[in-house]
A and B are shown apart, each in its own frame.
Chain A
């Protein structure tokens, strides 16, 4: 069975600082991996995805994530945080088959301070 662990339910960074949100996964087959962002009172929006190919994936709003198979990780980074990045971020894993489903982590709330 697939699972996702997000380390840190709350992360606080200063504006302009590096953002690092951690995600580790478990999957019995090569996974598809996703990061979603949720702003208050809204649904989830896709930030980026990894399916196959290049392990460094670039997404919207300057975010990127690197798939590291040996570490079973898919951490999300952004070089310089902006106030507008404050939101909740969810990592999700799928086993990739045509009947597969997403399993979500419990989320990390990012706070950006001046």
Chain B
């Protein structure tokens, strides 16, 4: 029972580097989400995909792009990393948008 799998678990980047965070779910969920978690700020939605083939901006999309590769996979890309993007990133999925979300264990990203 893998649920939501995120890779990598940890990453250190230099300012200006790019990278892609990977997320895959095996629960046949239609909706997928990317959040960032910062101390004292809760979880903030970066992008989401209500269904395969669609993506929409969340609360804090600047500096990020996403790809819904297929029903299982939803990736998050940082094109030119900035120190302000140091955070813990969580991927989540749900059967449909108004149903409870299942979360991965997160990717801890540090940008120097």
Contacts and interface: CB of A to CB of B under 8 A. Distances in A.
Q: Interface centre among A43, A44, A90, by most B CB within 10 Å? A: A43
A25 interface: no
Interface stretch (B12-20, B40-48, B60-68, B75-83): B40-48
Interface stretch (A13-21, A65-73, A74-82, A104-112): A104-112
Interface string B31-44: 00100000011111
Contacts of A28: none
Q: Is the interface of B mostly helix, strand, loop or mixed?
A: loop
B24 to A, nearest CB: 14
Interface residues of B, number: 23
Contact of A43 (B44, B58, B98, B106): B106
B97 interface: yes
Interface of B: 4, 33, 40-45, 48, 50, 58, 90, 92, 96-98, 100-106
Given A42-B105, A43-B90, A101 B43 contact: no
